[in-house]
Amino acid sequence: MERVSTNVPRGRFEFAQRPETDQSFENALAKARAGDRLTVDDGVELLTTGTAFDGIDPRRKELVLEAADQRRAEVVGEEVTFVANLNNNVTTACNTGCLFCNFKDPAGEFERGQVPDGGVAHTDRGFTKTPADSRRIVTDALERGIYEVTSVSGLHPALALDDDHREALDAQGGPNYKPASMYATDPGTYVEQLEAMAVDGVHLHSMTPEEAAHARRGTDRSYEQVYRRLKRAGLDSVPGTAAEILVDEVRDVICPQKIDTGEWVAAMEAAAAVGLDVTATIMYGHVENEAHRIQHLDVVREFQDRTGAITEFVPLSFVHHDTPLVEKGMVSTGATQAEDELLMAVSRLYLDNVENLQSSWVKFGDELGLKMLSCGANDFMGTILSEEITKRAGGEFGEFRSVREYVEMITAVGRVPAERSTDYRQRRVVDPEEGPFGPTLGPNADGTPLVDRSAVPADD
Ligand SMILES: C[S@@+](CC[C@H](N)C(=O)[O-])C[C@H]1O[C@@H](n2cnc3c(N)ncnc32)[C@H](O)[C@@H]1O
Ligand SMILES: Nc1c(NC[C@H](O)[C@H](O)[C@H](O)CO)[nH]c(=O)[nH]c1=O
Ligand SMILES: N[C@@H](Cc1ccc(O)cc1)C(=O)O
Ligand code: SF4
């Protein structure tokens, strides 16, 4: 059968790691079917449908997807879960310069005189919120019935962990620090933002390893001390983004100013050590090759062996359109659909110690997002109500899904819709015959449908 080409820019970058193995595809597939723990070489064979040839063999691909779908059925059954949540990102100001990211704005654009003082200070595209802004936005979403807030933000130069950290940075200065008085809007400290968002026991999912590194810059505080302080302020779990590809030769190309692989793992271990749940992600489909993707899965699997703290793994397919990587001519597009399907399937087969695999409708859209549920995924993300990361990169799959849309989509592919809490411990199977459909697991969630307010014309 004709092989289908991939978008991996093989040979473009002089990486030491190459997708070459002594294993055969057939052996690797047999191990996967038998439920044996896979080696890196096994993973590379499955992800490439065999390294002996270029491109993806569609027939072999189907065999890998089938094995993953079967494993998914054995491990988590037929339920497809989703969460009623809000994204409330605090600021787009960030000088870290990751080449795949168009969420960020140069922090200088938020200095006094560049934008009006106070409130949610917007540049043409971006924003900084005060703690009071965040509280208002969260309070409003809680009334609508959500019970999780996800908050991931740019590394604003004025953000410090808490008042003590801010005072120390004011007194001595510090790396990537400028006092809040220089900016039109003061984002407060991380602790103030979390305390502001901690309304009515809502679950706070925030402070990625990169943000934790920012929250300790210029001090000798350990990651454990940082996460302990954040937990005291209301933090419940940590998004394992900033992972990108956990191989330093790739990080050196796409995010040279980010923490390295070892530090990402150290921050995540600290979060786990103080009793926080974490998620883990991979952001793929740019300059890396299949060897890097599997090495990334290996870092995640080892971390999970040590900690057991990962509640879900989330493959984030690179959204390429309006990003520096494309503008600089380093890549021309993202992963193909076949690569997306295989990455999901091999994640299910490789990560034998992670139960939940998330399909992101933000990255894949509804159609491919639903297809992913038969390639190994069993979770379909959340309602989010607002989305900025993918939208700014040129993604077009929207910012909101209602519980009704979830129930309809999941039922249409013959699976069982179930609302979940962030930690997956609480679940409620939804009967598709028993509408109307709204969230029920939150403090103010009485089953009233979540409406898409952006679709309703505003009152004048
Ligand atoms: C935008 S950052 C915000 C939090 C924090 N600044 C950090 O880097 O951890 C969160 C994550 O969004 C993802 N992301 C950013 N741009 C993306 C893109 N164009 N396509 C897919 N994922 C992207 C990356 O995985 C990144 O780690
Ligand atoms: N995959 C994406 C997510 N996933 C996060 C979930 O919405 C939820 O917060 C998590 O499962 C913890 O319960 N969020 C995004 O904003 N964009 C994605 O692509
Ligand atoms: N906000 C991230 C996705 C994300 C957030 C939290 C998670 O736990 C996992 C993934 C993005 O859109 O790229
Ligand atoms: S991914 Fe995060 S750290 Fe990197 S530029 Fe974007 S917002 Fe900043």
Q: What is the DSSP string of 357-418?
A: EB--HHHHHHHHHHHGGGTT--EEEE--S---HHHHTT--S-S---HHHHHHHHHHTT-EEE
Q: Measured from the CB, is residue 210 less than 6 Å from ligand 4?
A: yes
Q: CB burial class (10 A; 0-12, 13-18, 19+) of residue 430?
A: buried
Query: Cα(340)–Cα(322) distance, rounded to whole angstroms?
Result: 20
Q: How far does the centroid of ligand 1 lie from the alpha carbon of residue 287, in Å? A: 15
Q: Measured from the CB, is residue 98 less than 6 Å from ligand 4?
A: yes
Question: Starting from the edge strand earliest in sequence, which strands make up the sheet with 416-420, in order?
Answer: 379-382, 79-83, 416-420, 427-429
φ, ψ (nearest 5 deg) of residue 345? -65, -45
* pLDDT computed for residue 319 by the predictor: 98
Say if residues 361 and 338 touch (Cβ distance below 8 Å). Answer: no
Q: How far does the centroid of ligand 1 lie from the alpha carbon of residue 381, in Å? A: 16
Q: How far does the centroid of ligand 4 lie from the alpha carbon of residue 210, in Å? A: 9
* pLDDT computed for residue 3 by the predictor: 81
DSSP element (H, E) containing 281: strand 277-284
Q: How far does the centroid of ligand 2 lie from the alpha carbon of residue 286, in Å? A: 20
Residue 385, C-beta contacts closer than 8 angstroms, at least 6 positions apart: 85, 86, 87, 141, 144, 146, 399, 400, 450
Q: How far does the centroid of ligand 4 lie from the alpha carbon of residue 324, in Å? A: 12
Q: Which residues pair with 282 in a beta bridge?
A: 315
* pLDDT computed for residue 392 by the predictor: 96
* Closest approach atom of ligand 1 to CA 152: 4
Residue 167, C-beta contacts closer than 8 angstroms, at least 6 positions apart: none
Say if residues 285 and 296 touch (Cβ distance below 8 Å). Answer: no
Residue 438, C-beta contacts closer than 8 angstroms, at least 6 positions apart: 145, 403, 445, 446, 447, 448, 449, 450
Beta strands in 22-96 (DSSP E): 79-83, 85-87
Q: Measured from the CB, is residue 148 less than 6 Å from ligand 4?
A: no
Query: Cα(189)–Cα(216) distance, rounded to whole angstroms?
Result: 12
Q: How far does the centroid of ligand 3 lie from the alpha carbon of residue 381, in Å? A: 9
Threshold 0.95, pTM exceeds:
yes
* Closest approach atom of ligand 2 to CA 382: 7
Q: Measured from the CB, is residue 309 less than 6 Å from ligand 3?
A: no
Categorise residue 412: left if φ over 0, alpha if ψ from -120 to 50, beta otherwise. Answer: alpha
* pLDDT computed for residue 435 by the predictor: 87
* pLDDT computed for residue 11 by the predictor: 64
Q: Measured from the CB, is residue 392 less than 6 Å from ligand 4?
A: no
Residue 102, C-beta contacts closer than 8 angstroms, at least 6 positions apart: 322, 323, 324, 392, 393, 394
Q: How far does the centroid of ligand 4 lie from the alpha carbon of residue 102, in Å? A: 8
Residue 383, C-beta contacts closer than 8 angstroms, at least 6 positions apart: 82, 83, 84, 85, 86, 146, 400, 401, 402, 403, 406, 439, 450
* pLDDT computed for residue 455 by the predictor: 56
Query: Cα(191)–Cα(189) distance, rounded to whole angstroms?
Result: 5
Would you state the CATH architecture of domain 79-445?
A: Alpha-Beta Barrel (3.20)
Which of 391, 284, 287, 407 lies closest to 346 in space, CA to CA?
284
φ, ψ (nearest 5 deg) of residue 316? -110, 105
* Closest approach atom of ligand 3 to CA 240: 8
Q: How far does the centroid of ligand 1 lie from the alpha carbon of residue 77, in Å? A: 31
Q: How far does the centroid of ligand 3 lie from the alpha carbon of residue 172, in Å? A: 34
Q: Measured from the CB, is residue 186 less than 6 Å from ligand 4?
A: no
Which of 358, 395, 390 lies closest to 375 in space, CA to CA?
358
pLDDT in tens, the chain (460 residues): 678 888 776 667 889 999 999 999 999 999 999 999 999 999 999 999 999 999 999 999 999 999 999 999 999 999 999 999 999 999 999 999 999 999 999 999 999 988 888 777 787 779 999 999 999 999 999 999 999 999 999 999 999 999 999 999 999 999 999 999 999 999 999 999 999 999 999 999 999 999 999 999 999 999 999 999 999 999 999 999 999 999 999 999 999 999 999 999 999 999 999 999 999 999 999 999 999 999 999 999 999 999 999 999 999 999 999 999 999 999 999 999 999 999 999 999 999 999 999 999 999 999 999 999 999 999 999 999 999 999 999 999 999 999 999 999 999 999 999 999 999 999 999 999 998 999 999 888 999 998 766 655 544 4
φ, ψ (nearest 5 deg) of residue 242? 65, 5
Ligand number, closest to the Cα atom of 107:
4
Pairing mode of beta strands 277-284, 85-87: unpaired
Count the neighbouring beta carbons within 10 Å of the beta carbon of residue 372.
Answer: 28
Q: Which of 210, 257, 323 to mutate to test ligand 4, by most ligand atoms within 8 A of the CB atom? A: 210
Say if residues 236 and 190 touch (Cβ distance below 8 Å). Answer: no
C-alpha torsion 156→157→158→164, nearest 10: 110
Q: Which of 314, 343, 387 to mutate to test ligand 2, by most ligand atoms within 8 A of the CB atom? A: 314
Q: Measured from the CB, is residue 85 less than 6 Å from ligand 3?
A: no
Q: Measured from the CB, is residue 362 less than 6 Å from ligand 1?
A: no
Rounded to 5°, angle at Cα 103 from 312 and 121? 120
Q: Measured from the CB, is residue 103 less than 6 Å from ligand 4?
A: yes
Categorise residue 156: left if φ over 0, alpha if ψ from -120 to 50, beta otherwise. Answer: beta
